[in-house]
Structure 1
Amino acid sequence: MLQALGLSPAEEAVYTAMLVRPSASAGELALQAGIAEAESDRILRDLAARGLVVAVNPGGGNDGPPPTCYRLTPPSVALAPLLAEQRNALHLAETAFSKLTEQYRTTAAHTAGGVVEVVVGVEQVAHRFLQLQRGAQRELLVFLVGEPIAVPREDTDTSESSALERGVDFRVVADKEYLAGHEVVQDVREAVAAGLVLRLADSLPLKMVVSDRERAMVPLDMTESGGEPSAIVVHPSGLLTALVHLFEREWAQGRPMFTTGAGAHDEPASDQQPAAEELEVLALLLAGFSDRRAASELGLSIRTVERRVRRLMDLSGVESRLQLGWHAARVGWL
């Protein structure tokens, strides 16, 4: 965490080691920090020059005077100037960011009205897409359709994880055919477990990602024409508002998937409540999947799918799958 204040990982290791050894030599700290003594000595001399530590009883060691020991300067005194420098640097960066953004918008206003920018090429599309996901601070709205073209799924998974760790509200509507394969289903289940909220639609008109309702990205060509991937990035405008409304409409009509409902849990089901894996089966069936297709997507046998459905029907006290769907909606299982 001290790297944000300009300390290297090795310097941070030595510095934090001194928190439990108020006075120690380079050799002692090297052992505790897991580095060579020469490296520890160099780091301590550098920290002393920056006022973070103070040398006491300077000596030479071996057969001469005892080795030099160091003690920490109180962090509230030593680290405060570093924190102030970082704050000032951040303020300057934010000012530069605002100026560059305004300059770009002014320039773009003479071309496409500042509303859209066109991005062409695999690398450019992938870079812009990841920028939108990694730059989100509050909310991400996503339509998932078809196979990834410009951005590998593993890169998307990494940026999703980063957004969820930042506490971003992450909502996704997926085309039913997107869940084509056990590997995809497993990735989606892990993302949902991490906080992503997923709903399923029979079909979606386009791929899309909306970041903080300030920018959106939409592919220009959904066909398999063989040309270079291209997309438009939409900035604040009536078009962006329309895309957000389109997402909210599909979200309202979508069916929840892989959620942990009011009675669901990851442990084995009790006599009164369904287990999470049973509700996963139910969610796929309500999305229009056959027993065989649901079994394939979840990596189960058809018998297991049928057994879980039968268990849910018994739990609900219903006699048909249609009644089971109504019951699940009424009690909030999905």
Structure 2
Amino acid sequence: MLEVIGLDSGQEAAYFVLLDGAPLRWEELVGRSGLEPEAARGALTRLEERGLVARLAGQPARWTTLPPEHAIEVLLLARERDIRRVRGLAQRLGEKHRAARIGQGSAALVEVINGPEAVARCGQQVFTSAAREVRGIDAPPYAQAADGTSVNSSANLASRGVRSRFIHGRENLTLPGTINRIERDIAHGEEVRVLPRAPMKLILADDQAGLVPLVATPEVLDSAILVRPSSLLDALSELFETLWQQAQPYILDDAGPLPDGDGPTSDERRILSLLAVGLSDEAIARQLGLGLRTVQRRVRALLERLGASSRFQAGVLAADRGWWRPRE
């Protein structure tokens, strides 16, 4: 946990032992921490350098911790200053890089990324580079680095206040686990819409970068094109906005309990949400982990309660009754 202030696991273990009690001699720290003697000596040196512990006067030498709330805060402020300086340098280097690319001609505006590992890393960089908004069309295959790191949006964007908008094809919603993942992303603030069919896979970061698959199988994303500011990037942005206007919002119900107590259960509300984007009973059963007959029975019961003759009409009537509505 304390690696953020420059401590390794052994130094952290020594620090926690010193926090727990009275000042300790070097030999006592070795016995209580389980560290090798040289490792314990090195840990004391590092902790003293970082201002976390102090050596008391007198013999034998003993070490004690300084107030953590002050000592750690000083180190965090220093780390924040370092991060700000590096960010400033990264901005200047990025401007220099873009200027050099423009000078090389139009070929520098498009870069081919080869290999699943490189595509995954590039995708993650596109996500983390966004300062205002990430937009995308979500479709398999999904890039994944060799260490298992997946390219995703909500985990990287929610804490930075970056807007996130994604379009899904209806067929994508039938894949195992997709609905749960989408609902987690929506809970983090992502906006999601659904089309009958996603025409392509796409990631856009602000107006600065776009990533489009070049060669892919249903399971593996082998290569992609990284597009920098250009007419091509503008066209991809316009394509996304056109599709966004055509797509139907995927709504997480936020209606709350109904005063008359005659509203649907939470499972029934989820079924209504999935009906609204056109999923079949079989796909709903897979996504919710229910049996097909259970879903069919609940759909029939919902239609009867609403007096609806079709699934579409059921959605309209459910919204009219306040059973199902979008977030404000």
Normalising by structure 2, report the TM-score: 0.75
Alignment deviations for residues 176-226 of structure 1 (CA, whole Å, 9 cap, x no partner)? 11233334444444544555443221022221012244322122457x69x
Within the candidate set 205, 211, 223, 1:211 is matched to 205
- For structure 1, the 5+ residue unaligned runs are 61-67
The 5 Å alignment of 1:1-334 reads 2-19=2-19, 21=21, 23-26=23-26, 34-36=33-35, 38=37, 39-48=39-48, 51-56=51-56, 58-60=58-60, 68-74=61-67, 82=75, 86-87=79-80, 89-109=82-102, 110-112=104-106, 115-145=109-139, 147-148=140-141, 150-151=143-144, 155-156=149-150, 160-164=154-158, 166=160, 168-193=162-187, 195-220=189-214, 229-257=222-250, 259-263=252-256, 271-313=261-303, 316=306, 318=308, 320-330=310-320, 331=322, 332-334=324-326
- Tell me how many residue pairs correspond in the alignment: 319
User: Would you say the 8 A contact 2:50–2:75 is kept in 1?
Assistant: no
Distance 1:58 1:277, change over 3 A: farther
CA 1:171–1:199 in 2, change beyond 3 Å: closer, same or farther? same
User: What is the rounded CA distance, in whole Å, between the counterparts of 1:105 and 1:293 in structure 2?
Assistant: 46
CA distance in 1, matches of 2:145, 2:35: 41
Equivalent pair of 1:197/1:259 in contact (CA under 8 Å): no
Assess, with a 3 A threshold, how the Cα gap between structure 1 residues 121 and 182 changes in structure 2: closer, same or farther. closer
Check 1:128–1:53 CA distance in 2 against 1; reply closer, same or farther (3 A cut): same
Q: Is the 1:258–1:279 contact (alpha carbons within 8 Å) kept by the matching residues of 2?
A: no
In structure 2, C-alpha distance between the alignment counterparts of 1:31 and 1:121, rounded to whole Å: 49
SS at 2:252's partner residue?
Answer: coil
- Residues 174 and 283 in structure 2, CA contact (< 8 A), matched pair in contact too: no
Taking only the aligned residue pairs, the percentage that are identical comes to 31
Structure 1 residues 193 and 79 mapped into 2: Cα distance closer, same or farther (>3 Å)? closer
Post-superposition Cα deviations, 1:79-114, rounded to whole Å, max 9, x if no partner, equal 677456535543442343233212221221122276
Q: Is the 8 A contact 1:200 1:256 kept in 2?
A: yes
Q: Flag the 1:49–1:274 CA change in 2: closer, same or farther, 3 A.
A: same
Q: Is the 8 A contact 2:114 2:222 kept in 1?
A: yes
Q: 3-state DSSP class of the match of 2:199?
A: coil
Deviation at 1:320, TM superposition (A): 4.5
Moved over 6 A (4+): none
TM-score with structure 1 setting the length: 0.74
**What SS does the aligned partner of 2:253 have?**
coil
- List runs of 5+ in structure 2 lacking aligned partners: none
CA distance in 1, matches of 2:105, 2:69: 52
